[in-house]
Structure 1
Amino acid sequence: MKKVRIGMIGAGVHATNMLYPCFEHLQEQIETVAVCDLQEERAKANAKHFGFDKVYTDYAQMIEKEKLAGVIICLNAKSHPPVVLDCLERGVDVLVEKPISITVEEARKIEEAAQKYNRVVMVEHQKRCSKAYLKAMDFVKSDDFGDVVMIETKMHGRPYETLFNLFVEWHIHNIDLVLAFGGDVKTVKALQKSLAPNRAAMAILLQFESGAVATLNWGTEGGFGRFSERFEVVGSNWRGVIVENARDVTFYDHNRTDYYSHNTVKVWKHDWWPMHENFTHALDGYVGIIQRFAESIVSREQGAPSATDERKALEVIHEILKQLNIPVDWRYVSSAF
């Protein structure tokens, strides 16, 4: 694959810790051309540390002068839509940090613009490209798995500035995965135990267009950490797969013809242990999503998750918010924690 010319828009804490370290692992696919940030010193620091040639404080100038094939945008949820739309109009493909927007309407505008200008738009949900979830997806797509009939997930969190922030900054990871494995959603039913204006425990029931069902346990309690995430997919052929904390994968196969003597369980774990904490994050899906973006630029085939995928995720989130009477109140969230 020929190298694609990439520029970065944003050099904040999240981008610096999670995205920039990825380029060391993508030197054969990506030419790191330029960094743009309103704070020039921050852009200069990232360009120096991560091997970019040029620095800008105006992304429009960067796109015009550097003949970029694509840009990676990592700002904040409120700022993403106008910048994404402008980049599409200027003729470059876009990988944007999640969420693509805070409203369904803005996500739909980006979806329509991508189609209008025939550009690739991908959303940086790195969990889709982590080794654990890729292995789980391969297992689910195998002929022996059968149809997906049930998904059970949990995703604990911490109190954000608002519950809406919690949904679009954190739990949107979970709904993106649920839609990737289950397909389009037909019905949503949500319940909650409210603890404070920005604290709650939630149980959500989904039914997909296929008829399969899903249960989601979300909330601010439990906290991030070792046991914060669990994702299980059950198939119609007595097979299932469990992903614990986006790391450990358990595949099980209960042979329906001889249940007691043919129960098979296999466990997969990462076989790497990076020394630098940034590399831990980079290799846990971030490298994969950027590589998928570069491949989509070259092939001109829309990679997933797309603007359409994100719009559907936001539709489910806003339906849950509506049922639980949670205000659509977004506030800036620092990624410095």
Structure 2
Amino acid sequence: MEKFRQPILSTHQECIPAHKMPDYLPATAHQPIGQSVNSQVQVQIFRHRTTLQNLTIPAVAEPLLVLVVSGAAIVEERVGEEDWISNAVTTDDFFLTMSPVPYEMRWQTASDGGFEVIHVYLSQGLLDLAARDVFAGHGGTMRLREASGERDDEISRLMRSLYHEMTSSEQASSLYLQGVAQALAVHLVRGYGDSIDSSTRMNALPAYKLHRAIAAMHAGLDSAFNLGRLSSEASMSISHFSRMFRKATGRSPSQYFIHMRMEVARQLLLESDLSILNVALNVGYASPSHFAQVFRRHTGVTPREYRHRS
């Protein structure tokens, strides 16, 4: 059997067109389900199987949005010779990246059935159009902040609409895909927009260091926030790391950490039978009253009200 060889990335051209992404995923690691390409939105659907081969994933020119449609896996990634970062992903987790550099990945699925994902690439022109619609008078290039393993009901709904159109019709409607993509672009601009222009963003935290910091936060949600450890792992001073992290995400490291805690708490309240005390302990709060206070500040309701309303 011929061994899969990944295409070689030119050192002078790190980004590839989005429609070329399937070329970098070997048949032993994925099964392509469908692909649609047009000027505003590109959609790719894959069913991934376990692969221990290190895959070099190139950066793409367009923002990449990935939703786990079904299944679960342990995904590892790294940039260059950095340590591997391990993340557990499951249904409705989403990832948003505008990473300008290639990175390596490998993954192990939770079952023989693998896990299924949908990739959505929105054109820069569509994002800029959405920004002009949402923010009257907005000019320049719209940028989006990075998101890793987060949950968003609207993103899940819209991306599942794209998935359904791609998989339930012999010929997906280009008009339908573009309409959903426009709604998705508006939602991303409203919720994940970064007002920093591209020239300023060049001085923000590099994507691979941001991913490492977010992964470390996620792994330590039940522990005390440790800014010194995060900045040390990024090889930066605390003040420089904090400033660059805010530029990259729009939030300070501590604000981002609390946001991640609240997202996990919301998920546990909706999808588990854990008591509110145990939910609080799972996201690092020994005091239920303190947890309730922080939760209410972020959601407008108490944990108990949130569980009963949903």
By the TM > 0.5 criterion, same fold?
Answer: no
Structure (1/2) with the larger strand percentage: 1
Structure with higher RCO (Cα < 8 A, 6+ apart): 1
User: TM-score normalized by structure 2?
Assistant: 0.28
User: TM-score normalized by structure 1?
Assistant: 0.26
